[in-house]
Structure 1
Amino acid sequence: MKFQVTIVGHGAEALEFLNDSDNSFFILFNENAPEELAEISVLHTISAVYKEPAPGDTMKIGDKEFKITAVGVEAPYTLRELGHCTVNFGGGEEAALPGCIMLKGSEKVTVEDLQAGTEISIY
Protein backbone atom coordinates (compact mmCIF):
# COMPACT_ATOMS: atom_id res chain seq x y z
CA MET A 1 0.00 0.00 0.00
CA LYS A 2 1.44 3.34 -1.06
CA PHE A 3 -1.31 5.58 0.34
CA GLN A 4 -4.59 5.00 2.17
CA VAL A 5 -7.10 7.49 3.57
CA THR A 6 -10.76 7.72 4.54
CA ILE A 7 -13.02 10.49 3.28
CA VAL A 8 -14.35 12.64 6.13
CA GLY A 9 -16.49 15.00 4.03
CA HIS A 10 -16.41 17.44 1.15
CA GLY A 11 -17.01 21.08 0.41
CA ALA A 12 -20.22 22.43 -1.08
CA GLU A 13 -18.69 22.74 -4.56
CA ALA A 14 -16.37 19.72 -4.45
CA LEU A 15 -18.47 17.27 -6.43
CA GLU A 16 -19.55 19.58 -9.26
CA PHE A 17 -16.46 18.67 -11.28
CA LEU A 18 -17.56 15.03 -11.54
CA ASN A 19 -20.32 16.01 -13.98
CA ASP A 20 -17.99 17.39 -16.63
CA SER A 21 -18.31 14.87 -19.46
CA ASP A 22 -15.04 15.99 -21.10
CA ASN A 23 -12.90 16.32 -17.97
CA SER A 24 -14.34 14.58 -14.91
CA PHE A 25 -12.22 15.14 -11.78
CA PHE A 26 -12.19 15.88 -8.07
CA ILE A 27 -9.72 17.65 -5.81
CA LEU A 28 -8.37 15.71 -2.84
CA PHE A 29 -7.10 17.47 0.31
CA ASN A 30 -6.27 16.65 3.94
CA GLU A 31 -9.09 17.36 6.38
CA ASN A 32 -7.19 20.42 7.67
CA ALA A 33 -7.34 22.24 4.30
CA PRO A 34 -7.83 26.02 4.42
CA GLU A 35 -11.54 26.94 4.27
CA GLU A 36 -11.38 28.39 0.75
CA LEU A 37 -9.84 25.14 -0.56
CA ALA A 38 -12.06 22.89 1.55
CA GLU A 39 -15.11 24.28 -0.29
CA ILE A 40 -13.93 22.69 -3.56
CA SER A 41 -12.24 19.60 -2.12
CA VAL A 42 -12.97 16.05 -1.04
CA LEU A 43 -11.47 15.97 2.46
CA HIS A 44 -9.77 12.94 3.98
CA THR A 45 -7.90 11.72 7.04
CA ILE A 46 -4.23 12.63 7.22
CA SER A 47 -1.92 9.80 6.18
CA ALA A 48 1.65 9.26 5.11
CA VAL A 49 2.56 8.53 1.51
CA TYR A 50 4.59 5.36 1.89
CA LYS A 51 5.76 5.34 -1.72
CA GLU A 52 5.10 7.77 -4.57
CA PRO A 53 2.27 6.89 -6.94
CA ALA A 54 3.38 5.93 -10.45
CA PRO A 55 1.84 5.00 -13.79
CA GLY A 56 0.68 1.40 -13.67
CA ASP A 57 -0.39 1.63 -10.01
CA THR A 58 -4.03 1.24 -9.00
CA MET A 59 -6.17 3.81 -7.20
CA LYS A 60 -9.17 2.32 -5.44
CA ILE A 61 -12.08 4.58 -4.53
CA GLY A 62 -14.50 2.59 -2.42
CA ASP A 63 -15.08 -0.58 -4.44
CA LYS A 64 -14.03 0.90 -7.80
CA GLU A 65 -10.51 0.45 -9.19
CA PHE A 66 -8.71 2.67 -11.68
CA LYS A 67 -5.33 2.36 -13.36
CA ILE A 68 -3.00 5.33 -12.88
CA THR A 69 -1.89 6.42 -16.35
CA ALA A 70 0.16 9.53 -15.46
CA VAL A 71 1.35 11.45 -12.41
CA GLY A 72 2.07 15.18 -12.63
CA VAL A 73 5.48 16.41 -11.49
CA GLU A 74 4.05 18.20 -8.42
CA ALA A 75 1.54 15.51 -7.38
CA PRO A 76 3.91 13.33 -5.31
CA TYR A 77 5.06 16.37 -3.29
CA THR A 78 1.59 17.87 -2.71
CA LEU A 79 0.11 14.47 -1.87
CA ARG A 80 2.86 13.87 0.70
CA GLU A 81 2.79 17.36 2.23
CA LEU A 82 -0.89 18.33 2.00
CA GLY A 83 -2.77 15.18 1.06
CA HIS A 84 -3.56 17.12 -2.10
CA CYS A 85 -3.86 16.24 -5.76
CA THR A 86 -6.39 16.50 -8.53
CA VAL A 87 -7.79 13.09 -9.43
CA ASN A 88 -8.61 13.25 -13.13
CA PHE A 89 -10.51 10.48 -14.92
CA GLY A 90 -9.37 11.47 -18.43
CA GLY A 91 -6.64 8.85 -18.71
CA GLY A 92 -3.76 9.76 -21.00
CA GLU A 93 -0.04 9.36 -20.68
CA GLU A 94 0.56 12.98 -19.64
CA ALA A 95 -0.88 14.74 -16.61
CA ALA A 96 -3.38 17.51 -17.42
CA LEU A 97 -1.74 19.71 -14.76
CA PRO A 98 1.39 19.35 -12.58
CA GLY A 99 -0.70 18.32 -9.54
CA CYS A 100 -2.85 15.72 -11.34
CA ILE A 101 -3.01 11.99 -11.03
CA MET A 102 -4.62 10.68 -14.22
CA LEU A 103 -6.85 7.61 -14.03
CA LYS A 104 -8.49 5.26 -16.47
CA GLY A 105 -11.21 2.74 -15.68
CA SER A 106 -14.42 1.22 -16.89
CA GLU A 107 -16.62 2.60 -14.09
CA LYS A 108 -17.64 6.16 -13.36
CA VAL A 109 -17.15 7.71 -9.92
CA THR A 110 -20.38 9.22 -8.63
CA VAL A 111 -21.31 11.57 -5.83
CA GLU A 112 -22.31 8.52 -3.78
CA ASP A 113 -18.78 7.11 -4.11
CA LEU A 114 -17.22 10.17 -2.46
CA GLN A 115 -19.08 10.28 0.83
CA ALA A 116 -17.69 10.21 4.38
CA GLY A 117 -16.38 6.77 5.28
CA THR A 118 -15.24 5.81 1.77
CA GLU A 119 -11.62 4.65 1.59
CA ILE A 120 -9.21 5.79 -1.10
CA SER A 121 -6.00 3.87 -1.60
CA ILE A 122 -3.11 3.64 -4.02
CA TYR A 123 -1.20 0.39 -4.51
Structure 2
Amino acid sequence: MTQIYKTIVTELGESVTEFYSEKMIVLFKGGAPAELAEFCVIHEENNLYENIQPGDVFKIDDNEFLITAVGSSVNENLQNLGHITLKFDGAQEAELPGTLYLENSEVPEIQLGQTLEVART
Protein backbone atom coordinates (compact mmCIF):
# COMPACT_ATOMS: atom_id res chain seq x y z
CA MET A 1 0.00 0.00 0.00
CA THR A 2 1.13 3.53 -0.79
CA GLN A 3 0.71 6.05 2.01
CA ILE A 4 -1.29 9.12 0.90
CA TYR A 5 -1.80 10.84 4.26
CA LYS A 6 -0.67 10.37 7.85
CA THR A 7 -1.14 12.09 11.19
CA ILE A 8 -1.34 11.24 14.90
CA VAL A 9 -4.15 12.19 17.31
CA THR A 10 -2.80 14.60 19.94
CA GLU A 11 -5.98 15.87 21.62
CA LEU A 12 -9.68 15.10 21.83
CA GLY A 13 -12.24 17.86 22.23
CA GLU A 14 -14.69 17.40 25.10
CA SER A 15 -17.62 16.94 22.72
CA VAL A 16 -16.06 14.70 20.03
CA THR A 17 -18.38 11.81 20.85
CA GLU A 18 -21.52 13.94 20.28
CA PHE A 19 -21.08 13.41 16.53
CA TYR A 20 -20.70 9.62 16.80
CA SER A 21 -24.50 9.16 16.71
CA GLU A 22 -24.48 11.02 13.37
CA LYS A 23 -21.69 8.69 12.14
CA MET A 24 -19.22 11.58 12.00
CA ILE A 25 -15.76 12.50 13.25
CA VAL A 26 -14.35 16.00 12.74
CA LEU A 27 -10.59 16.41 12.30
CA PHE A 28 -8.68 19.66 12.77
CA LYS A 29 -4.98 20.47 13.02
CA GLY A 30 -3.80 22.05 16.27
CA GLY A 31 -4.66 25.72 16.60
CA ALA A 32 -8.34 25.20 15.77
CA PRO A 33 -10.62 27.98 17.01
CA ALA A 34 -11.75 27.13 20.57
CA GLU A 35 -15.45 26.97 19.61
CA LEU A 36 -14.60 24.28 17.03
CA ALA A 37 -11.84 22.46 18.91
CA GLU A 38 -14.25 21.08 21.53
CA PHE A 39 -15.94 19.01 18.78
CA CYS A 40 -12.73 17.94 17.02
CA VAL A 41 -10.10 15.25 16.97
CA ILE A 42 -6.94 17.37 17.03
CA HIS A 43 -3.69 16.36 15.32
CA GLU A 44 -0.39 18.13 14.72
CA GLU A 45 1.32 16.44 11.79
CA ASN A 46 -0.44 16.96 8.51
CA ASN A 47 1.24 15.03 5.73
CA LEU A 48 -0.84 14.81 2.53
CA TYR A 49 1.37 13.28 -0.18
CA GLU A 50 -1.23 12.84 -2.95
CA ASN A 51 -4.89 13.69 -3.45
CA ILE A 52 -7.30 11.28 -1.75
CA GLN A 53 -9.60 9.38 -4.13
CA PRO A 54 -12.58 7.03 -3.81
CA GLY A 55 -11.27 3.49 -3.42
CA ASP A 56 -8.43 4.56 -1.10
CA VAL A 57 -8.50 3.22 2.46
CA PHE A 58 -8.78 5.33 5.63
CA LYS A 59 -6.99 3.67 8.55
CA ILE A 60 -7.34 4.27 12.27
CA ASP A 61 -4.44 2.24 13.63
CA ASP A 62 -5.24 -1.26 12.26
CA ASN A 63 -8.92 -0.60 11.44
CA GLU A 64 -9.51 0.00 7.73
CA PHE A 65 -12.45 1.77 6.08
CA LEU A 66 -13.00 2.03 2.32
CA ILE A 67 -13.33 5.62 1.06
CA THR A 68 -16.54 5.81 -0.99
CA ALA A 69 -16.64 9.52 -1.95
CA VAL A 70 -14.43 12.61 -1.56
CA GLY A 71 -15.88 16.10 -1.15
CA SER A 72 -14.54 18.72 -3.57
CA SER A 73 -12.65 20.61 -0.79
CA VAL A 74 -11.31 17.63 1.17
CA ASN A 75 -7.78 17.61 -0.24
CA GLU A 76 -7.37 21.40 -0.07
CA ASN A 77 -8.82 21.65 3.45
CA LEU A 78 -6.75 18.74 4.71
CA GLN A 79 -3.55 20.19 3.21
CA ASN A 80 -4.12 23.74 4.46
CA LEU A 81 -6.04 23.36 7.73
CA GLY A 82 -5.95 19.67 8.57
CA HIS A 83 -9.73 20.04 8.77
CA ILE A 84 -12.23 17.59 7.30
CA THR A 85 -15.24 15.61 8.45
CA LEU A 86 -15.29 11.82 8.25
CA LYS A 87 -18.74 10.38 7.56
CA PHE A 88 -19.24 6.62 7.97
CA ASP A 89 -22.37 6.26 5.83
CA GLY A 90 -21.15 4.68 2.58
CA ALA A 91 -22.36 7.54 0.36
CA GLN A 92 -21.27 7.18 -3.26
CA GLU A 93 -21.74 10.90 -4.00
CA ALA A 94 -20.17 13.65 -1.88
CA GLU A 95 -22.93 15.88 -0.52
CA LEU A 96 -20.66 18.27 1.41
CA PRO A 97 -17.39 19.66 0.02
CA GLY A 98 -15.33 19.18 3.21
CA THR A 99 -16.45 15.64 3.95
CA LEU A 100 -14.67 12.35 3.32
CA TYR A 101 -17.23 9.55 3.01
CA LEU A 102 -16.31 6.10 4.28
CA GLU A 103 -18.01 2.72 4.09
CA ASN A 104 -21.14 2.35 6.20
CA SER A 105 -19.80 1.38 9.61
CA GLU A 106 -20.04 2.02 13.31
CA VAL A 107 -17.90 5.02 14.24
CA PRO A 108 -14.76 3.84 16.01
CA GLU A 109 -13.97 5.59 19.27
CA ILE A 110 -10.86 7.67 18.68
CA GLN A 111 -8.06 7.55 21.27
CA LEU A 112 -5.07 9.80 21.94
CA GLY A 113 -1.95 8.66 20.12
CA GLN A 114 -3.76 6.75 17.38
CA THR A 115 -2.41 6.98 13.85
CA LEU A 116 -4.79 8.19 11.15
CA GLU A 117 -3.76 7.52 7.59
CA VAL A 118 -4.96 7.09 4.03
CA ALA A 119 -3.42 4.43 1.83
CA ARG A 120 -3.84 3.29 -1.77
CA THR A 121 -3.46 -0.29 -2.99
TM-score, length basis structure 2: 0.90
1:93 CA drift (Å): 1.1
1:47 CA drift (Å): 1.8
Structure 1 equivalent of residue 39 of structure 2? 40
Q: What is the identity percentage for the equivalent residue pairs of Structure 1 and Structure 2?
A: 37
Structure 2 equivalent of residue 120 of structure 1? 116
In 2, the alpha carbon distance for the partners of 1:2 and 1:34 equals 27
Tell me if structure 1 keeps the 8 A contact 2:46–2:78: no
Structure 1 equivalent of residue 85 of structure 2? 86
1:19 CA drift (Å): 2.1
Tell me if structure 1 keeps the 8 A contact 2:24–2:107: no
Q: Which has the higher strand share?
A: 2
Alignment of 1:1-123 (within 5 A): 1-20=3-22, 24-104=23-103, 108-111=106-109, 114-123=110-119
In 2, the alpha carbon distance for the partners of 1:10 and 1:58 equals 23
Gaps in structure 1 of 5+ consecutive residues? none
Letter in 2 for 1:19: S
1:110 CA drift (Å): 3.0
Q: How many corresponding residue pairs?
A: 117
C-alpha RMSD of matched pairs (Å): 1.3
Structure 2 counterpart SS, 1:15: helix
